[in-house]
């Protein structure tokens, strides 16, 4: 009884609801579950009053963002207002020069925000090192999700400038679009031209959408908490923290483990974001499409983080000339796009190296694609497909080792262990000693490799189940998540981007 009274203590409740940098409001927390249920009750009550429903959603979204970034909420609101005004200015300007000036101002302002918050210390320290001067890094706190909502802002203004969409005249509609909480912190990168028409339609979730949404939330929780967090805390982090303590085989498994961890963590977040939006009647495009089934580097980027890769294609690669200006320019455009994509992930040379690595893979693949002919006997065979997938997956794992390694020294230590201390004989002992890790990796790969028709069939089956059965299965998944999750909150990896 005393414990229940303590939990209901007003001061403790107040502290829980206020911003706490150590306890952001994430989809995989109990507080979010409680608040979201309360919000959905209000959302349903207001279903026939669209203006009030939008205001309630905006208020919840801003509170959701406040719990992650406190006062930086004002930056998000500022971008909403500036986009609204700039978008209408660009749409009404009769002179192409004024339209170009408007979109240039908006894009430069968004990029300036990213440069200051994400790259200022890196650029300043690099300049100081080059000029042999001293620089004390500023204590700059990165606003959560700034990369995602600034990209959404840029695409909105550029789409208006290109004539691909009309500027939004209703400030409430645009504020809803920019602050909508499911994709706010870690994507997908939802474009205004895809979301605004749905907002204007005042959608209502169907029974099928609700079932699909709940199923995606469950699969997202399983991927994140039961697989990704377990692999990370019990194996991957230890290997990358000190690779020299582990054999080459264990280092290889650590790299594979991180690849599966990152996929489950990020696709799990995307699943939950898409699922939450479905519960409210909104549908986003898929952000992952079985990326490890890719047979070449280009196909991988058509399947991995699709909303970002298509954004980079539409707003960077194609405007730079794409593949229309000869092979040399195509390779350069690929490299520049991937370098910018690497830097988008953070202010670190390892991210830049990762981008350069993938830019090189894309260029090499395009260079040899037309020159090397597959023997006729192998074309279209399962063997060729298996070889292509295996090679591509291996290259992707190497890339993610670069992505995860904190420094070149760590990467070099891992490569040294793999090259000089492989010890394949430890594989049976590894499986025995890390049985749960192996099972978690296999579970993550199994969820990934399941045929699309299977997952679609399971989703439809769940959506067709009686409400009581759906609720019972959801309760079982939540119970498992609570039992498995670590005592410390494990943020989603892409929250830092």
Residues designated as active site = 345
What 3-state DSSP class applies to 183? Answer: coil
Tell me how far apart the alpha carbons of residues 198 and 158 are, in angstroms, rounded to a whole number. 20
User: CA–CA separation, 429 vs 346, rounded Å?
Assistant: 37
Task: Compute CA distances 191 → 166, 246, 490, whole Å.
Answer: 13, 44, 28
User: Would you give the end-to-end CA distance of the chain in angstroms?
Assistant: 43
Report d(CA 362, CA 465) in Å as an integer.
45
* Cα 454 from Cα 28, distance rounded (Å): 26
Q: Would you say 145 and 306 are in contact if contact means Cβ atoms under 8 Å apart?
A: no
Kindly state the greatest CA–CA separation across the chain: 77
Alpha-carbon Rg for the chain in angstroms: 24
**Environment class of residue 65 by beta-carbon count within 10 Å: exposed (0-12), middle (13-18) or buried (19+)?**
buried
Residue 80 CA to residue 93 CA, distance in Å, equals 20
Q: How far apart (Å, rounded) are the C-alpha atoms in residues 153 and 386?
A: 41
Q: In whole angstroms, what is the distance from residue 115 CA to residue 394 CA?
A: 33
Q: Are the C-beta atoms of 29 and 224 separated by less than 8 Å?
A: no
| C-alpha dihedral (409, 413, 415, 420), degrees to nearest 10 | 150
Q: Which residue pairs from 102-111 have beta carbons closer than 8 angstroms and sit at least 24 positions apart in sequence?
A: 102/157, 102/161, 103/157, 103/158, 103/160, 103/161, 106/82, 106/153, 106/154, 106/157, 107/154, 107/157, 107/158, 109/82, 110/79, 110/150, 110/153, 110/154, 111/150, 111/154
Token pair of 432, please? Answer: 């025995």
C-beta atoms surrounding 97 within 10 Å? 8
Query: Residue 38 and residue 30: Cα distance in Å, rounded?
Result: 13
Cis previous bond, 188, omega within 30: yes
């Amino acid at each position: 009884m005393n414990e229940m009274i303590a939990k209901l203590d007003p001061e403790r409740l107040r502290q829980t609801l206020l911003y706490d940098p150590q306890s952001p409001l994430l989809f995989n927390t109990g507080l979010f579950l409680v608040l979201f249920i309360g919000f959905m009750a209000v959302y349903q009550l207001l279903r026939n009053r669209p203006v009030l429903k939008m205001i309630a959603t905006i208020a919840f979204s801003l509170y959701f963002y406040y719990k992650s970034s406190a006062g930086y909420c004002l930056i998000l609101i500022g971008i909403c207002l500036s986009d609204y005004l700039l978008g209408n200015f660009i749409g009404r300007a009769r002179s192409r020069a004024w339209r170009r000036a408007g979109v240039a101002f908006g894009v430069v302002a968004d990029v300036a925000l990213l440069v200051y918050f994400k790259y200022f210390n890196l650029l300043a320290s690099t300049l100081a090192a080059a000029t042999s001067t001293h620089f004390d890094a500023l204590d700059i706190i990165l606003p959560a999700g700034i990369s995602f909502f600034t990209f959404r802002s840029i695409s909105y203004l550029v789409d208006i400038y290109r004539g691909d969409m009309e500027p939004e005249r209703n400030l409430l509609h645009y504020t809803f679009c920019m602050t909508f909480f499911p994709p706010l912190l870690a994507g997908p990168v939802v474009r205004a031209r895809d979301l605004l028409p749905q907002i204007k339609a005042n959608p209502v979730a169907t029974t099928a959408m609700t079932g699909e949404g709940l199923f995606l939330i469950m699969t997202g929780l399983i991927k994140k908490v039961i697989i990704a967090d377990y692999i990370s805390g019990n194996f991957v982090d230890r290997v990358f923290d000190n690779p020299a303590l582990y054999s080459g085989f264990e280092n290889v498994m650590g790299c594979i483990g991180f690849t599966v961890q990152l996929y489950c963590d990020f696709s799990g977040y995307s699943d939950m974001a898409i699922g939450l939006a479905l519960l409210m009647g909104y549908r986003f495009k898929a952000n992952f499409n079985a990326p490890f089934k890719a047979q070449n580097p280009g196909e991988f980027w058509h399947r991995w983080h699709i909303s970002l890769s298509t954004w980079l294609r539409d707003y960077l690669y194609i405007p730079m000339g794409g593949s229309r200006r000869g092979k040399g320019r195509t390779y350069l455009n690929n490299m520049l796009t991937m370098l910018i994509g690497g830097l988008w992930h953070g202010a670190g040379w390892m991210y830049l190296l990762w981008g350069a690595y993938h830019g090189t893979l894309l260029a090499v693949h395009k260079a040899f694609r037309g020159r090397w002919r597959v023997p006729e006997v192998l074309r279209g065979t399962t063997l060729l497909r298996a070889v292509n997938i295996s090679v591509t997956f291996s290259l992707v794992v190497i890339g993610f080792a670069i992505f995860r390694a904190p420094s070149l020294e760590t990467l070099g230590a891992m490569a040294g262990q793999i090259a000089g201390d492989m010890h394949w004989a430890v594989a049976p002992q590894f499986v025995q000693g890390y049985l749960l890790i192996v099972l978690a990796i296999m579970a993550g790969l199994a969820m990934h490799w399941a045929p699309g028709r299977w997952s679609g069939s399971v989703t439809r089956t769940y959506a067709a189940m009686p409400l009581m059965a759906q609720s019972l299965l959801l309760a079982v998944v939540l119970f498992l998540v609570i039992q498995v999750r670590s005592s410390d909150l494990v943020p989603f990896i892409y929250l830092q981007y």
